[in-house]
Chain A
Amino acid sequence: DADVTQTPRNRITKTGKRIMLECSQTKGHDRMYWYRQDPGLGLRLIYYSFDVKDINKGEISDGYSVSRQAQAKFSLSLESAIPNQTALYFCATSDSGGVYGYTFGSGTRLTVV
């Protein structure tokens, strides 16, 4: 099994729908992150969590919310999806020291029509 698992892998949804992307990890890491990637724009940080009780906004949090249900689980929600949220979404984890960088999940390709 993968160290960082994202579900679903692909999703097509309609404008205005609520959608949740899920991430779980077996790395035992405290820290978890959500990024989106658009062609030509690189990785952009949406939200991050340093532990279960610590949630922080990233550079592009508008239109998104998150929930850290447990050390191993971090979910990203789009409350009312819009077409410009069509992107590739990645979850990542790291230890607190950042010694070994981030481990990324396989990604979720989200299309909002």
Chain B
Amino acid sequence: QKEVEQNSGPLSVPEGAIASLNCTYSDRGSQSFFWYRQYSGKSPELIMFIYSNGDKEDGRFTAQLNKASQYVSLLIRDSQPSDSATYLCAVNKGNAGNMLTFGGGTRLMVKP
């Protein structure tokens, strides 16, 4: 089992819809969780991070964390074609010097 798992996709949604991206992790002691967006050939850029159970909203983005079920998700409301990218989930397990473990990413395609 990978430490951080994501469906590679592609996840295809129509413009204006809600895109739901999911990530599961294996280490129950994981403390903080990050979502990065990466356009093809570009570097990952941080969208959001979340530490506590529940929802955290930032504009059209909502991160959801459920530590009991060991999953974190990212919702993108009113999806736009410019949201088409690969979304990387990263987890700080709190040990190993607070290093991040990255999932393989989910490719999102938003169709006009």
A interface residues (Cβ-Cβ under 8 A, vs B): 40-43, 48, 50, 88, 90, 94, 96-107, 109
CB neighbours (8 Å) of B102 from chain A are 42-43
**Are B88 and A98 interface neighbours, CB within 8 A?**
no
**Are A97 and B100 interface neighbours, CB within 8 A?**
no
B26-59 residues with Cβ-Cβ distance < 8 A to A are: 32, 34, 36, 41-46, 49
A–B Cβ pairs within 8 angstroms, 29 of them: A41-B104, A42-B102, A42-B103, A42-B105, A43-B44, A43-B88, A43-B102, A48-B99, A50-B97, A96-B98, A98-B98, A98-B99, A98-B100, A99-B32, A100-B46, A101-B36, A101-B49, A101-B90, A101-B100, A102-B44, A102-B90, A104-B43, A104-B44, A105-B43, A106-B42, A106-B43, A107-B41, A107-B42, A109-B41
**Are B104 and A42 interface neighbours, CB within 8 A?**
yes
- Among B43, B90, B97, B98, which residue has its beta carbon within 8 angstroms of that of A90? B43
CB neighbours (8 Å) of B73 from chain A are none
CB neighbours (8 Å) of B92 from chain A are 98, 101
Chain B: residues with Cβ within 8 Å of the partner, total of 22
Chain A to chain B: the 9 pairs with minimum beta-carbon distance, closest first: A98-B98, A42-B104, A104-B43, A101-B34, A98-B92, A43-B102, A107-B43, A104-B44, A101-B46
Other than the given A98-B32, A98-B100, A104-B44, 18 more pairs (CB < 8 A) read A41-B104, A43-B88, A43-B102, A50-B97, A90-B44, A94-B98, A94-B100, A96-B98, A98-B99, A99-B32, A100-B46, A100-B49, A101-B34, A101-B92, A102-B100, A103-B46, A107-B42, A109-B41
**Which residue from chain B places its CB closest to the CB of A105 in the assembled complex?**
B43
Least Cβ distance of B78 to chain A in Å?
A: 25
**Are B98 and A97 interface neighbours, CB within 8 A?**
yes
**Are A104 and B34 interface neighbours, CB within 8 A?**
no
CB neighbours (8 Å) of A109 from chain B are 41
CA distance A21 to B78 in the complex (A): 40
